[in-house]
Amino acid sequence: MNPEVEAARLARVALSWLVEPGSRALWLRVAEHGPARVLDGLLATGRDHLLRRAVGARLDTTDPRAAAAATLARTRRLGARVVIPEDDEWPGQLDQLVTICRDGRDPIDRDAAPPLCLWVRGPGRLDEVLRRSVAVVGARAATGYGAHAARQVGYELADRGWTVVSGGAYGVDAHAHRGALAAGGLTVVVLACGVDRAYPTSHANLFERVSEDGLLVSEWPPGAEPFRHRFLIRNRVIAAATSGTVVVEAGARSGALQTLRRAGELGRCRMVMPGPITSAMSVGCHEQLRDPEVRLVTGAPHILEEVGKLSHDLAPVVRGPVHPRDGLEPAERRLLEALLIRKPLSSEAAAVRAGVPAGEAMRILPSLVVRGFARRSGHGFVIVREPSADEAGRAPGAAPAGAPA
Amino acid sequence: MNPEVEAARLARVALSWLVEPGSRALWLRVAEHGPARVLDGLLATGRDHLLRRAVGARLDTTDPRAAAAATLARTRRLGARVVIPEDDEWPGQLDQLVTICRDGRDPIDRDAAPPLCLWVRGPGRLDEVLRRSVAVVGARAATGYGAHAARQVGYELADRGWTVVSGGAYGVDAHAHRGALAAGGLTVVVLACGVDRAYPTSHANLFERVSEDGLLVSEWPPGAEPFRHRFLIRNRVIAAATSGTVVVEAGARSGALQTLRRAGELGRCRMVMPGPITSAMSVGCHEQLRDPEVRLVTGAPHILEEVGKLSHDLAPVVRGPVHPRDGLEPAERRLLEALLIRKPLSSEAAAVRAGVPAGEAMRILPSLVVRGFARRSGHGFVIVREPSADEAGRAPGAAPAGAPA
């Protein structure tokens, strides 16, 4: 056990307890200074106004470090673990969520930052289980048709060696998980509550079976309740973890459509199964399919045709040994090319050189730091030489925390 | 009755009897010289080798003019009529079929020329009935779902004042017609046999009802049999007559998909209704919907959103008073602009000036003549001054036949 990594783990758990997942302000601060320093600053001075606002009332009631230590002990007792970006098994694709945070009134849009850490229950390595994975989501009130379709596509994907990721809800989610289990394949439930809770309670057996071969995953510590708003926050993880999202059935305002939108924002495949035009549970699907960028799929062959293209790119984007910069967005690439090797540039100066809006540079540069492409130097940023294949294979969050590979 | 128009009608009927519909060679000859001269040439000298090949054996057995006169008399006795391009009610959009004739082994591709004439039974003016029209086609072996969907979309379209055009076949076609009738709207059956024949026979009542308010239409004279190959030839008329084609249900190799392809070649809207992924009768639909240019529709609102855009353009392309040249294809426009007002250019010379392949110029220039944009002069072509609004409103075939508006 590396003491720095364990300090980071404790700090990330404490920060997760203090702030609801998705906070962009917190994530960027952690990316820049490392979790331990951010927690120290928060506890020591209380002067970190931006974060104080996010932290709210919890800071004043309990010692967050003690609470985090207790949480980690409880996690171990459950047979679960906390996976953090400093770990090798962290799925780097989740950090792409930083690219979709936006200013805006809707807190869901504003707070779509990557998770600080994940509670995981199950035998597999998180990154490996998710490497070839597809999200299959949809209506809780699935029809018999939707249940059949979800189970079949879950089976087909798992049978072909792909992991089926879903939210463990009634209806489409549960049938997708069950289909994957029936094929003897891997499936991942991304929960909106602690990994020790069965929600819905009638899925206790299902979750138990999933945790035997697959994984139960959550951003919330054990005991956390499935509050309504947490489902929408959770959805971004389902979208980001996978190569693409398949919606099986969805009413006009289904939450599954939000997962699909997130997938689109992240450049993942958006796929939708059609249904009878007479079914209210396919209305949302058909509206989505009127978007030419959303692909109609009727089963695993169609799905793999879509994600097969992307999955070659997906892993290398962040962790791949070949050309790590291939996965950068245009603005990210321009900013990176604008940086110098020795002379630090402020984000304003880099923005001017790159021809990128200053606000965007302020958002992007810290994320380039966390991914190891740039580093802080004095009051500015410098470029990091193209990392070697070995370095590029490291967990992307490792660089700023100074953890060895 | 204009004797020249009646001579053209007789000649077109005779030529229709001699040559199966769709012959590009015949249509271009007729466009260039007018139907009466083409028939004269064929009967007098027998030296028109190109056409002799198309005409085949029929020329030697009967007097085509006498046969045509008898056919016209029989048509009148049936309460039907023969509509020709020289008539005001000719739907000019059919002549756009000349743009999709292609060289190739498949005679269906080679022989997709516009009809020479149409047998019509029913009270409405053909052009007006088709002005706002949508084709609704699909599987003969429709499921209960497909039958319901076809009937509903037929009803909805007719209820909004749109004409429902289909092929009168079992399954989707018949249900689309019936839906339109139930709404008290207009519907058109485009037959692959004579308008006096009910095929399938169990649709005799349906066709009778259609002919009371709507129209029965055919390229084949009364008595003509519904040979198998005629259905595919007929499909191009369904696609060309309408602003768009909707496929309701289609197996993997359904003939309805050929109609959809034709619609795409003609720049019409391609629309498809989804169905359950478990249904063999939706397999063809779903494959089509994987093409981003094919739009998913679930009912009349979606359909009218698509064809609403196009229908403004459709009529003016050929007959509209405002800018008749707006509807020209790029190569047509370039060729037209390459022509001079007084000095005739051979098609080769025009092709060189326009930068268009010589073969294409040979195909396009006669069609510009028939649409009144150019005329023959000596051994070449000259441009016709931009027609006035009044002239542009004439039937497109009227110019070469010299018929007054």
Tell me the pLDDT tens digit for each residue of B201-259.
999 999 999 999 999 999 999 999 999 889 999 999 999 999 999 999 999 999 999 99
Instruction: Tell me whether A12 touches chain B (CB under 8 Å).
Output: no
Q: How far is CA B211 from CA B81, B216, B281, in A?
A: 12, 6, 30
> How would residue B25 be classed by pLDDT, with cut points 50, 70 and 90?
confident
Residue A20, Ramachandran bin (φ over 0: left; ψ between -120 and 50: alpha; else beta) = beta
CATH for the A324-401 domain, from 3.40.50.970, 1.20.58.340, 1.10.10.10, 1.10.3720.10: 1.10.10.10
Chain A contacts of B275, Cβ < 8 Å?
274-277
Residue boundaries of the structural domains of chain B: 120-318, 324-401
Q: DSSP letter string over B311-340?
A: HHHHHHHHT-SS-GGGG--HHHHHHHHHS-
Tell me the pLDDT tens digit for each residue of B145-160.
999 999 999 999 999 9
Instruction: Tell me whether B73 touches chain A (CB under 8 Å).
Output: no
* Domain A120-318 is found in CATH 3.20.20.70: no
With CA atoms as reference, the chain A residue closest to B143 would be A276
As a whole number of angstroms, the distance between CA B121 and CA B222 comes to: 11
Query: Is B333:B372 a contact under the CB 8 Å cutoff?
Result: no
pLDDT at position B366: 83
**Residue B104: Cβ-neighbour burial (10 angstroms; 0-12, 13-18, 19+):** exposed
Query: Is A316:A327 a contact under the CB 8 Å cutoff?
Result: yes
- A404 has a pLDDT exceeding 70: no
Instruction: Tell me whether A274 touches chain B (CB under 8 Å).
Output: yes
Other C-beta atoms closer than 10 Å to the C-beta of B88 total 14
As a whole number of angstroms, the distance between CA A136 and CA A158 comes to: 12
Query: Would the CB atoms of B290 and A286 count as touching at under 8 Å?
Result: no
| Nearest partner of B236 among B14, B19, B12, B20, judged by Cα | B20
Chain B contacts of A293, Cβ < 8 Å?
292
Assigned token pair, B338: 């390459």
Query: Is B223:B198 a contact under the CB 8 Å cutoff?
Result: no
- A392 has a pLDDT exceeding 60: no
| Nearest partner of A382 among A334, A347, A354, judged by Cα | A347
Confidence (pTM): 0.74
As a whole number of angstroms, the distance between CA B135 and CA B405 comes to: 30
Query: Would the CB atoms of A277 and B290 count as touching at under 8 Å?
Result: no
Instruction: Tell me whether B1 touches chain A (CB under 8 Å).
Output: no
With CA atoms as reference, the chain A residue closest to B288 would be A296
Q: DSSP letter string over B84-134?
A: -TTSTT--GGGGGGGGG---SS-HHHH--PPPS-EEEESSS-HHHHHHTEE
Q: DSSP letter string over B181-247?
A: HHTT--EEEEESS-TT--SSGGGHHHHHHHHHHSEEEESS-TT----HHHHHHHHHHHHHHSSEEEE
Hey, which residues 129-148 in chain B have their CB within 8 Å of chain A? 145, 148
Name which of A283, A289, A293 is nearest B289 (Cβ-Cβ): A289
Query: Would the CB atoms of B274 and A274 count as touching at under 8 Å?
Result: yes
Hey, which residues 280-299 in chain B have their CB within 8 Å of chain A? 282-283, 286, 289-290, 292-293, 295-296, 298-299
Length of chain B equals 405
With CA atoms as reference, the chain A residue closest to B302 would be A290
Query: Is A187:A210 a contact under the CB 8 Å cutoff?
Result: yes
pLDDT at position B180: 98
Q: Tell me what the pLDDT averaged over chain B comes to.
A: 86
Tell me the pLDDT tens digit for each residue of A225-254.
999 889 999 999 999 999 999 999 999 999
Length of chain A equals 405
User: Which amino acid would we find at residue B73?
Assistant: A
Query: Is A280:A145 a contact under the CB 8 Å cutoff?
Result: no
Query: For residues B243-256, b (16+ Cβ closer than 10 Å) or e, as one string?
Result: bbbbbbbbbeebbb
Tell me the nearest-neighbour CA distance from B329 into chain A, angstroms. Answer: 25
As a whole number of angstroms, the distance between CA B268 and CA B135 comes to: 11
